[in-house]
Amino acid sequence: MNTTKTIKSALISVFSKDGLEPIVRKLHEQNVTLYSTGGTEDFIKNLGIPVVPVEDVTSYPSILGGRVKTLHPKVFGGILNRQDNDSDVQQMIEYGIPQIDLVIVDLYPFEKTVASGASEADIIEKIDIGGISLIRAAAKNFKDTVIIASVEEYSNLLALITNQNGGTTVEDRKLLAAKAFHVSSHYDSAIFNYFNTDDTILKQSISGGQILRYGENPHQKGYFFGDFDAMFKKLHGKELSYNNLLDVDAAVNLILEFKHDDPTFAILKHNNACGLATRDTMKAAYLDALAGDPTSAFGGVLISNGQIDADTASEINKLFCEVVIAPSYDEEAISILSEKKNRIILILNDVELPQQQVRTALNGLLVQDRNNITDNKNDLRTVTDTAPTAQQTDDLIFASKICKNTKSNTIVLAKNRTLIASGTGQTSRVDALKQAIEKAHTFGFDLKNSVMASDAFFPFPDCVEIANHAGVTAVIQPGGSIKDDLSINYCNENKVAMVFTGTRHFKH
């Protein structure tokens, strides 16, 4: 059976006319009968090309301020009839319904209208009814009808009708139908999400997935769905991988905790900070962050909360690192960092991150609110006889910010606004602490007068005892254990300051 069909008639009803003219001219050149309404009809007429008003087909005018134009059996019959069905063919003749082989629709810009901050009345008027119905009807009947559902497909249509002299195969039409159903489902999801107030219902529709080289490992396929260009300006380097993107995500979330602080530099490996320091200059912050764990820093992701200058870039250039991220760079710094051809250099734009986090679990999804709480001095409740000094308080807040963004179970040790060491992703908090202490000693840090942060409460006093013996003199933790008094009593007996925040920061 020959499944190639030649377009002989087309209904065109679009919001945006960009790119439409060459299609209209090509269809006219191929003797295609054109039907249209409203502004699109005027557009075609102004090109000097004949067009049949839909009102002439339906014998009904556009009514209700344009809300009802194409919603009529003579329009939808022309789209939905099955050309190989004798009953349909007879009814087309009986009711004088013209055949429509091609439908071109561009929906009202609902999402753009919402994003513009328009009034609810204006937003409601941008809910397309006729257009979405035309899309679904033509896509359903792809065996006989061609559907173009967005401006993005105009160039594809023009190529098809030019190269195939107005003809389309069933494969062409089915592919266009799939794209059309994506347009309609995406549109409906946007409308639903505008109205929805039920957090137990989740609808997401994201277009433009980016194919990555592979997933976490070379045998896994990987994709990124999101607007990377809205978040970053890429200045240099190779394409980001799946693992790069996970590390970049962790880096951005971490540095945002220090957005308004003095110059701060962080180095991350496998989603966790291995070095972080706040100093008076970015160069000093970088060097002290690097000193926290120069071994793990190899091949890591680097991020700062301020401009990277040439002096800092010269120091960074001595290290092999995958990605460097900053809100800005001076020109010489870009030149220096670009000397390594594969190094990825990103400018972090000031954008708002999604307020919900989604991840797969079992045969479904887990959704939660973003952890937007950052511990600050006003949150601290001193529970010991010894209160932290001003310096210790600054270090406790500093450590807490890192702890919040480190895999649980975690312990963070800090001193003088420097990450000394952390224990990450351990099944026991005691193990996390021992790991941090051992790491600090490995890199020659003196833990005397350091502080400790924990992402969750201490059920026993063992952690504060171990930390005290290592030199820790102040502790920050959420509190909330039925045995809090055991840790508090130990701290009191050993003149260790401890504050509760009341907020747990698990990160699994």
pTM: 0.86
Three-class SS state of 82: coil
The pLDDT of residue 191 is above 70: yes
CA dihedral 98, 103, 104, 105 (to 10 degrees): 100
**What SS3 state is found at 64?**
helix
Residue 363 preceded by cis peptide, ω within 30: no
pLDDT digits (tens, 9 = 90+) for 7-60: 999 999 998 899 999 999 999 999 999 999 888 999 999 999 999 998 888 877
> How large is the angle between the packed helices 484-493 and 462-470, nearest 10 degrees?
30
- In this prediction, residue 426 has a pLDDT band, given cuts at 50, 70 and 90, of very high
Which single residue is written with the structure tokens 């450590």?
Answer: 399
Active-site residue, selected from the candidate residues 8, 270, 340, 441: 270
* Region 204-219 average pLDDT: 90
CA 385, CA 491: separation in Å to the nearest integer?
8
| CA 21 to each of CA 28, 29, 44, 154, 368: distance values in angstroms, whole numbers, following the listed order | 11, 12, 8, 10, 47
pLDDT in the model for residue 68: 74
Q: Are 269 and 292 in contact (CB under 8 A)?
A: no
Active-site residue (options: 140, 179, 182, 340): 140
Quote the pLDDT of residue 37.
87
How far apart CA 417 and CA 264 sit, in angstroms, is: 9
Q: Length of the chain in residues, anyone?
A: 508
What are the distances in angstroms from CA 7 to CA 91, 155, 166, 170? Answer: 21, 17, 6, 13
| C-alpha span between 315 and 311 (Å, rounded) | 7
For residue 88, is pLDDT > 90?
A: no
Catalytic residue check, 26: no
415 in active site: no
Split at pLDDT 50, 70, 90, the class of 2 is low
